[in-house]
Structure 1
Amino acid sequence: METAIRDEYEIIRVILPFILLLIYIAVSSLLLPPVLFVALLSIVITYIISPIGRWIIPMAIALGFPWWYAGLTIWLLDILGALFMAWNFGYLFSLPRLGPIMERVIQRIEDILSTHPWLERFTEAALLLYLTLPIQGAGALMGSVIGRFLGIDPWRVFTIIVIGSLVGSFGMALGSDALRLLLIGNIVLGIAIILLLAGIMFAGYLSFRAIRRRRL
């Protein structure tokens, strides 16, 4: 009897985050125009299966979503992902298709920690910073695995992800909307800012590659 109750509880822990996501999608279908609802589905799927991270927020705003709705959607996805990971982290490696994916994620985390040793020194503060900044792939999955590698309690990791995603998602959404308004009001200035940001990102990428080559 106790085993049956435990098995049911474990099943609930697996499916509950997906049920909550379906509820959010169902409510959104009642609130959004059909075109935006289809766009919402594509945003949700893309965020879940791709490493694009929060950079999908500017895309959502460009498609016509209010900044707060775009930020809320990504924040909710991170909350549900963190909840799923907090409950089911240990079971993921035994799943037929997800197990190999988790092993690749673990390998990527090991590469990140070897490249950024400061993550091990600052633990919780570094994890919060990592989840707040618009770093590609920084989300519930990567944050949960990094937190476990650092030995942080699962529910503290969950809290850090919730706070970091709240600041990062809404901050990026608000900044993207401000940039959109700037582009509308002054196209030349807006394009100049975009080019400047692109140049900074490209310079950072080149610096990162140079540092990695020196270490190799």
Structure 2
Amino acid sequence: MRQIGIRDDDDDTTSGLKVSVPFLLCGLFLAVVWFFLPAEQWLLLFGMMVAYIVPPLGRETIIPVCILWGIPWWLAAFTLAFLDFAGGLFMAWNFPLVLRIPYVGPWVSRFTAAGRTFLDRRPWLERLYFVGLIAFVALPFDGSGSIVGSIVGRMLGMTKAEVLACITVGGIIGSFAIALGIDYVVHLIPPGAGLWVSLAVLLLIGTALLVTYRSYSRRPEADA
């Protein structure tokens, strides 16, 4: 069993380059996409990227909105997977800096302090730490994502490279799986149904999946 606790890396310092590179990559991505999307869809994609960074919206909400508004399913999936990579890269390089950010630092500290309880409720994360972290990022768990995934990975004693790899793979699997599923459902809806009917159908499907997941995730706690 791996030792639980934040891993001390040899190079855990931060710098202006380490802070700016993830944001520069996001800016470069938006600049490239500008040449392939109409202005309205580009603005929507930019807004969805911001919404993905700010909780509580996740990929299970953002990807359907992007697809229904005409953004290709593969671009919506790649965008969120790319954000997971950029977020994981930022956390890998700047974890000490994050702890000093007002509001964010105390939240991370509180999450780290409660990490033992968090991992006790998900023992598979500790037993299958690499595959478990990939699944944690890929599946729509409460609070999952690149930031929390980075914290969990470091608590499991994983290196920066291991954590970033897990976040990247998990982000790709989760985003593309949801995008493919939503694209399939959208094509089942009659073309003349209209946008609001499509939104209603996807909302019903999302609600059913959320209720099913909530019921399943709370079962171990009830049996404890």
What TM-score, normalized by structure 1, do the two folds share? 0.82
Correspondence for 2:186: 180
Q: Is the 8 A contact 1:109 1:142 kept in 2?
A: no
Correspondence for 2:122: 116
Distance 1:192 1:169, change over 3 A: closer
Quote the offset at 1:178 in angstroms. 0.7
Correspondence for 2:210: 201
Distance 1:54 1:22, change over 3 A: same
CA distances 1:17-46 after superposition (whole Å, capped 9, x unpaired): 111111212222332212111211210110
Of stretches 61-70 and 127-136 in structure 1, the one that deviates more from structure 2 is: 127-136
- Quote the Cα distance in structure 1 between the aligned partners of 2:192 and 2:157: 49
Correspondence for 1:167: 173
In the alignment, does 2:164 pair up with 1:158? yes
Correspondence for 2:18: 13
- Quote the Cα distance in structure 2 between the aligned partners of 1:162 and 1:57: 17
- What's the secondary structure of 2:189's corresponding residue? helix
- What's the secondary structure of 1:31's corresponding residue? coil
Correspondence for 1:35: 40
- Quote the Cα distance in structure 1 between the aligned partners of 2:120 and 2:202: 33
CA distances 1:90-111 after superposition (whole Å, capped 9, x unpaired): 2221233431232244356444
* Percent of aligned positions that are identical: 33
Q: Is the 8 A contact 1:54 1:136 kept in 2?
A: no
Q: Is the 8 A contact 1:53 1:137 kept in 2?
A: no
Residue segments in structure 2 that go unaligned for 5+ positions in a row:
1-10, 194-199
- Quote the Cα distance in structure 1 between the aligned partners of 2:56 and 2:43: 21
CA distances 1:160-211 after superposition (whole Å, capped 9, x unpaired): 1111211221121111101110123798xxx889757644531442343454
Of stretches 146-155 and 56-65 in structure 1, the one that deviates more from structure 2 is: 56-65
Kindly indicate whether structure 1 or structure 2 has the higher relative contact order, using CA contacts under 8 Å at least 6 residues apart.
2
Distance 1:179 1:97, change over 3 A: same
Distance 1:33 1:124, change over 3 A: same
Quote the offset at 1:71 in angstroms. 0.6
Distance 1:31 1:109, change over 3 A: farther
Correspondence for 2:105: 99
- Quote the Cα distance in structure 2 between the aligned partners of 1:114 and 1:59: 35
Correspondence for 2:7: none
Number of aligned positions between the proteins = 208
Q: Is the 8 A contact 1:51 1:136 kept in 2?
A: no
